[in-house]
Amino acid sequence: MSNTSLAYKQENVDEHQKEQLKIVIVGHVDHGKSTLVGRLFYETDSLPEGQYEKVRQSSERRGMPFEWSFLTDALQSERDQGITVDTTQIWFKTPKRDYVIIDAPGHKEFLKNMISGAASSEAALLIIDAKEGVKEQSKRHGYLLHLLGVRQIAVAVNKMDLVNYDEKTFKEIEKEYTAYLKSIGVTPKFIIPIAAREGDNITKKSPNMPWYKGPAITEALDQFQLLPAPTELPLRFPVQDVYKFDERRIIVGRIESGRLKVGDKIIFNPSNRVETVKSIENWNSPAQTEVSAGMSAGITLESQIFVERGQVASHIDDAPKLTNIFRAKLFWLHDKPLEEGKKYKLKLATAQYQVEVKKIEKIIDTTDLAHSDSKKLERLGVGEVILRSRTLMSVDDFTQNQHMGRFMLLDGYDVAGGGIIDAQDFADQRKDTDVKSENIKSVDFKITRKERELVNGHRGGVMWFSGLSGSGKSTLANELMTRLYRKGYNVYVLDGDNVRQGLSADLGFSHKDRAENLRRVAEVANLFADSGTIVITSFISPYKKERDHARSIAPENFHSVYVKADLATVEARDPKGLYKKARKGEIKNFTGVNDVFEEPENADLTIDTATTTLDRSIELLMTYVDENFIKPIRDAGDFGGADI
Ligand code: ADX
């Protein structure tokens, strides 16, 4: 090599144009993984200039025999410091193509990365130690690769020099490992006897093993195929974020599979809302009309619907399944075993769901594939489990879509395990969600919001009160309405106990029913606000998600008020005697007693009624309303040159 270290990096960057295959090299350090990687780099002339000499001399200086793994370590540490090589990946090259090793040796995170899909490899090279033979770990690695859908596998039986390049030893390992892989449905494409330290069968056939007729390592790798980008699969566009630029909302994410075009009708899952793609935005290059798998994209929709991070857009006919339950094959990494009844955070593409382990169906021993009925999945174990969440999840079977069919489980912030989805035995619950309305187009009214505001002398908007039962929501809402009405304002209260006798008479207090109650209220409140009314909603509204949703409909006219009072205070008040009943077990799901209340963290206004008098509370509310609903109109002057 004649270039400098820096040029090496440059060269690799440029060579991105060249065909590139991602491989993972799996094996125990003691089985010679680092040695093999060092050798591969050396023999393929892929090292930065002077690296080999540098490492050789430094070993000499320290009086140590040179080891190929030192080279790999040196590469690794430069990689970690971001000096010569890309920080996440390292390359070597053959005349045919570049290879990206997604698991550089010493990379402890590789299991997590593979499980999360952060790193996906198209092929794998599994290393076995010829002296040790097929061990438990080699089987586990084989199983895991199979689980993660890596289908192109080569096995390197290393350290053949230590068994005198003996054909019989190799054949025995070949037979045993092939039989194991076959039992899990994997056919290795190549099994290659090598001696990484000596350079046997790395880039060329070794004279030490004339009995071996197959390819050397790089010759074998060159026979693997690049996997096609998943553009032909159904569209999956997981939403990463929604950015607001002036009036436009740009939905951004990465197309995991399929294609997306301007004019396409797409459905968001699991919210089940349909909208047409208006534009595909691009910051640096000319506008595009189509994007496909592997590309990041920002899109806008024909009209505003509620979209948030975690939703997945697809075409209507090819949508993912909506279900709150599925079966998973799970690989466990956490020290604390997985058990039935435990709750974890499930991360699936950009979505996060709270799930509970409903059932451990079987624990699979990856070494002999025996099944046991144990109810604990220990670290590095594989199991089949049923997971259930409180809400609907948008899922794909792993066999249908590898990119969307895998997930991670987190315990707190720790990655606890990873798995693949098999939802085949579970019904699609899409029909249970909102009815899809089609062929709907917004009607523009002649009377504008501005006109109404000027006539009323105040803005329309929502004052969303939340708080425990007995915290004082209804009292404050009632009093505030009275005061505003007497001043001539257009004001109305939507109160839980009232709404639940009409609009929400069909709903109870399960999570699902409360969410639906709040959805209806949010929509109705928005209509009131649009009519120019100051609408005060008085609902416990215990869940952050539904409150956030209520705000998202028209954030500029939404104001959250947390009517705060601790449980002891509201229980002492107990105006309707409901806490007493709940404590006696006569009311199920009573908020604060046997159901959650997720405290609002960023309310626009918080009033602690345990410590604030009614008069003072009303004063605070009136000031808030004045600042946010009345002052903006007053400040616009006598009709402010408004265009009526
Ligand atoms: S919410 O959770 O959906 O926001 P909402 O505010 O409509 O609740 O209704 C709460 C009112 O319903 C309470 O003030 C109380 O009078 C009554 N109620 C009856 N059962 C329950 C329950 N299990 N939990 C909370 N409130 C209940």
Our measurement of the distance from residue 40's CA atom to the centroid of its chain's CA atoms, rounded to an integer in Å, reads 35
What value does the mean pLDDT take over residues 550-576?
92
Question: Do the domains at 3-221 and 453-638 have one common CATH topology?
Answer: yes
pLDDT value of residue 439: 65
Sign of CA dihedral 493, 495, 498, 499: positive
> In degrees, to the nearest 5, what angle opens at C-alpha 576 toward C-alphas 575 and 578?
115
| Domain boundaries along the sequence of the chain | 3-221, 230-318, 321-429, 453-638
**96-100, 153-157, 373-377, 431-435: the lowest-pLDDT one:** 431-435
CATH number of 453-638: 3.40.50.300
- Closest C-alpha to ligand 1, atom 3: 514
Ligand 1, residue 587: give the atom nearest the CA.
Answer: 23
Question: In angstroms, what is the span from residue 609 Cα to ligand 1's centroid?
Answer: 19
Question: In angstroms, what is the span from residue 467 Cα to ligand 1's centroid?
Answer: 11
- Closest C-alpha to ligand 1, atom 7: 496
- Closest C-alpha to ligand 1, atom 9: 496
Residue with tokens 């053959």: 94
pLDDT at 13 over 50: no
- The whole-angstrom separation of Cα 263 and Cα 279 is 8
Residue with tokens 């409180």: 390
Q: What kind of architecture, by CATH, is found in domain 230-318?
A: Beta Barrel (2.40)
Tens-place pLDDT, residues 37-78: 889 989 998 887 888 888 888 888 888 888 888 877 777 776
**CATH assignment of 3-221, among 3.40.50.300, 2.120.10.30, 3.30.300.30, 3.55.50.30:** 3.40.50.300
Burial 515-539 (b: 16+ CB within 10 A, else e): bbbbbebbebbbebbbebbbbbbbb
Given pLDDT bands bounded at 50, 70 and 90, which one contains residue 641?
very low
pLDDT value of residue 200: 97
Ligand 1, residue 504: give the atom nearest the CA.
Answer: 7
Ligand 1, residue 576: give the atom nearest the CA.
Answer: 16
- Closest C-alpha to ligand 1, atom 16: 497
Judge contact between 499 and 517, C-beta under 8 A: yes
Positions annotated as catalytic residues are 541
- The whole-angstrom separation of Cα 620 and Cα 528 is 23
Helix axes 51-61, 68-81, angle to 10 degrees: 110
pLDDT value of residue 6: 30
- The whole-angstrom separation of Cα 419 and Cα 633 is 56
Ligand 1, residue 513: give the atom nearest the CA.
Answer: 3
131: its two tokens? 């002296």
- Closest C-alpha to ligand 1, atom 17: 497
Question: In angstroms, what is the span from residue 40 Cα to ligand 1's centroid?
Answer: 67
pLDDT value of residue 16: 46
Question: In angstroms, what is the span from residue 496 Cα to ligand 1's centroid?
Answer: 7
DSSP 413: T
Rg for the chain (alpha carbons), in Å? 31
DSSP 49: T
Mean residue pLDDT of the chain comes to: 86
DSSP string, 309-372: TT-EEEEGGGPPEEEEEEEEEEEE--SSPEETT-EEEEEETTEEEEEEEEEEEEEE-TTT--EE
- The whole-angstrom separation of Cα 630 and Cα 171 is 86
- The whole-angstrom separation of Cα 243 and Cα 137 is 46
Among 466, 540, 595, the mutation site with the greatest number of ligand 1 atoms within 8 A of its Cβ is: 540
Question: In angstroms, what is the span from residue 387 Cα to ligand 1's centroid?
Answer: 29
| Cis ω for the linkage preceding 270 (within 30 of 0) | yes
Specify the amino acid at residue 281: E
CATH number of 321-429: 2.40.30.10
Question: In angstroms, what is the span from residue 549 Cα to ligand 1's centroid?
Answer: 19
Question: Any residues with Cβ below 6 Å from ligand 1, and which?
Answer: 469, 496-497, 500, 509, 514, 517-518, 539-542, 576, 578, 587, 589-591
